[in-house]
Structure 1
């Protein structure tokens, strides 16, 4: 069972050097470790921010810090650093797998204003820039309302879909949010393009895996062409209708795609990564109105999975 308690001394030693430091303009930050422990408690229990235990400090501080770090990319940078450390010592299995999972959104997650939100205030009320990571998950004026906030409607109500890739050790490598009705195959390239593990020394970030596994939802010519252009081996089963159409064309239909049954069995690693990330109740049910804030919630949960794997 994944440990969802407070940060240990070893985990804090990894994160502390990477966190923002106070300066004369903004004054002192409330203790980062105390605030992160409050965020972890909310991730684990899914409680309302105002119901956080008093030992974590003012709930408003914890809420604003989470919004700020979701907007400026702090959670993403922490996750990438932990991934970079693991890659340096060879602890990442680059035979990755891709899948998605639907998340039920609480009714309070709806109703965000249709105009883009102002940047979360800084420590003393000053604005902060929204990172490109969060900007991609922030609505634009005149957009599609709930769809811009990654909220889709289905028979079960409001849903959000998390598209992710996971390494061979069941840890999320990249995350993309869409409305719940969005097809998996439409987000494959976005998920692959989000893979970015920096080097601790010189060199470009690693973006290409050794191989990719996915189910039939990703079986189409566009995805296979994308993987071939990038020289990535892949194991994606062929749909029965595609197989029938190819055989009907005879020699013009081309050769069947290669399929390694043994490699395909390892696709369960992404299912297990989804199971891990859904152990956090604030992820398993979406309570955040804003897409970029919920993305920060999911990214913070992925960070804990990496720290504690």
Structure 2
């Protein structure tokens, strides 16, 4: 019987071949039951100790999740489902980028240890930063034209979007179904004013990527003040820019997972694995 917040048969068929299997050792708990426990935890935001008994020992589910996080299992699964969609011509390469700030719960903030590094260093290591809302993490996201995540980058909450634009785009790697290098270059990028900088526009031009990014008011004024030396204004298509709400809808869907909308994971590795698993489910429901 399929319960709420559990994998459907279609989702499990996509994920099952990508789960590592032990060659030796004693028989382990059923993989699907354990993965369902992970999905339930991320979907509801409960603590690991409060997992329902039907998913088996909570420590088994947590240990398996942590191992998969360190091995990048869910990131690999996300890339594989993207590869299947790309082979079927199902990816819209009109890519939108943006970020959202996530409040860190006090359990996530307790990363310090006596005798270890100081609190500031720990927060930076785990993508936790101090901003107006307290301890926060920022999720930088690149999604395709249908609102499905292509790449994810975690930073402390106070990090500026423009600094993370290039590293975020360089995380797009959609493997080919056959031979050939992964696809890393979008056809076009849409972003808001936070990404308007000469350096980022030059980076996109070098890679041959079209872009629709509105110019900031102070940048317009500076260009006008320079006269002819200010150069021509960057191209801007209002009709294309209307599609930027797609990335906002993608964030909204991801935050239906309570474990994503509020960060409870102490380490950036675990939290990124949770976001990757949620992103995989968005893809699995659309292919």
Structure 2 length-normalised TM: 0.95
Q: Distance in 1 between matches of 2:268 and 2:73?
A: 16
Residue correspondence of structure 1 range 266-277 to structure 2 within 5 A: 266-277=243-254
Deviation at 1:28, TM superposition (A): 2.9
Is 1:284 aligned to 2:240, yes or no? Answer: no
Deviation at 1:142, TM superposition (A): 11
**Contact preservation (8 Å) 2:112, 2:119:** no
Q: Could you list the per-position Cα deviations for residues 110-149 of structure 1 after superposition, in whole angstroms to 9, with x for gaps in the alignment?
A: 122469x9xxxxxxxxxxxxxxxxxxxxxx9998221211
* Secondary structure, counterpart of 2:142 in structure 1: strand
Q: Distance in 2 between matches of 1:157 and 1:34?
A: 36
What is residue 102 of structure 2 aligned with on the other side? 103
What is residue 235 of structure 2 aligned with on the other side? 258
**Contact preservation (8 Å) 1:114, 1:145:** no
What is residue 71 of structure 2 aligned with on the other side? 72
- Evaluate the alpha carbon distance shift between residue 181 and residue 216 of structure 1 in structure 2; reply closer, same or farther with a 3 A threshold: same
**Contact preservation (8 Å) 1:21, 1:29:** no
Residue correspondence of structure 1 range 1-309 to structure 2 within 5 A: 5-24=5-24, 26-113=25-112, 144-309=121-286
Deviation at 1:239, TM superposition (A): 0.6
Q: Distance in 2 between matches of 1:195 and 1:114?
A: 35
- Evaluate the alpha carbon distance shift between residue 199 and residue 30 of structure 1 in structure 2; reply closer, same or farther with a 3 A threshold: same
**Contact preservation (8 Å) 1:105, 1:286:** yes
Q: Distance in 2 between matches of 1:157 and 1:169?
A: 33
* Secondary structure, counterpart of 2:151 in structure 1: strand
Q: Distance in 1 between matches of 2:109 and 2:13?
A: 38
Structure 1 runs of 4+ off > 6 angstroms? 140-143
* Secondary structure, counterpart of 1:200 in structure 2: coil
Deviation at 1:154, TM superposition (A): 2.4
Q: Could you list the per-position Cα deviations for residues 176-226 of structure 1 after superposition, in whole angstroms to 9, with x for gaps in the alignment?
A: 001101100010011100000001111110000110000000000110010
**Contact preservation (8 Å) 1:235, 1:263:** yes
Q: Could you list the per-position Cα deviations for residues 255-302 of structure 1 after superposition, in whole angstroms to 9, with x for gaps in the alignment?
A: 100001010001111111111111100000000111111111111111
- Evaluate the alpha carbon distance shift between residue 299 and residue 141 of structure 1 in structure 2; reply closer, same or farther with a 3 A threshold: farther
Q: Distance in 1 between matches of 2:62 and 2:213?
A: 41
**Contact preservation (8 Å) 1:80, 1:197:** yes
**Contact preservation (8 Å) 1:4, 1:44:** no
Deviation at 1:27, TM superposition (A): 3.4
Show structure 2 runs of 5+ residues with no match.
Answer: none
- Evaluate the alpha carbon distance shift between residue 301 and residue 36 of structure 1 in structure 2; reply closer, same or farther with a 3 A threshold: same
- Evaluate the alpha carbon distance shift between residue 153 and residue 142 of structure 1 in structure 2; reply closer, same or farther with a 3 A threshold: closer
* Secondary structure, counterpart of 1:174 in structure 2: strand
* Secondary structure, counterpart of 1:103 in structure 2: strand
Q: Distance in 1 between matches of 2:239 and 2:69?
A: 39
* Secondary structure, counterpart of 1:163 in structure 2: strand
Structure 1 length-normalised TM: 0.88
* Secondary structure, counterpart of 1:144 in structure 2: helix
